[in-house]
Structure 1
Amino acid sequence: MIAQMLLKNKEKSTYKEDSVGEKPIRSVAKALSWRVVGTLDTLAVSFVLAQDITLAASIASVDFITKLILYFFHERAWNIVKWGK
């Protein structure tokens, strides 16, 4: 019985929860979903301004990658902050 409980605990997720119970994978999912919205906006604005879909797609692609990474670390940093919780 105890051995089963120990094995069950080891089978749980390898991600550690932070102080509010969120796992880093949740931050990744939030970052991805938000970046899809933001990238579509960037693509539209870039296309309107440049009138060139290739240039607009290039801008949107770089924007997607850089802001995805920045958002992930921003989200994780805010999960450490106790203010407002």
Structure 2
Amino acid sequence: MGKISHKRHIAKTVTWRLVGTLDTILLSWLITGNPFTGLKIGLSEVLTKMVLYYLHERAWLKMNIDDSKKRHLIKTITWRIIGTLDTILLSWFITGSPTTGLKIGGVEVVTKMILYYVHERAWYKINFGLDNRHKKKKWKKI
């Protein structure tokens, strides 16, 4: 595999965080009934999730699993475990309720896995941050 630049992982981190934050804000608002609580939870995750996501991307770069739908599915599951634990803990801390943290985390497991898988597949088709050797590699049709 060719070299994958840090700028690619940073771009993926930023685009995923935008999608993920909007989802968290909406879910937190719907579950708590308070738009400000939704904003507090969603915005508090921005830094923690960006750092965790970037580290997850770098760790997956070292994994020796062929680029395929299987890789993206496994990557989706591992990220969701990390992301959900972060959301549960932050929601619990902000609301003071472990039950609310578990509700928000439980619902977002479904929404975030779907959104993350779509995000991963979209980035699979984008050559941004890939060197020429990587771009010229023939990929299986996705």
TM-score, reference length from structure 2: 0.44
Inter-partner Cα distance in structure 2 for 1:20 and 1:46: 40
* Residue correspondences, number: 67
Inter-partner Cα distance in structure 1 for 2:9 and 2:55: 9
Q: Which runs of 4+ in 1 moved over 6 A?
A: none
- Highest RCO, 1 vs 2 (Cα 8 Å, sep ≥ 6): 2
Report what 2:13 is aligned to.
Answer: 31
Question: Alignment identity in percent?
Answer: 33
Gaps of 5+ in 1: 1-18
Inter-partner Cα distance in structure 1 for 2:53 and 2:25: 18
Structure of larger gyration radius: 1
Contact residue 20 and residue 79 of structure 1 kept, 8 A: no
Which deviations, in whole Å up to 9, do the C-alpha atoms of 1:17-57 show, x marking residues without a partner?
xx532111110110110111011110000011112121111
Q: RMSD in angstroms over aligned alpha carbons?
A: 1.4
Gaps of 5+ in 2: 68-142
| Pairing 1:55–2:15 present | no
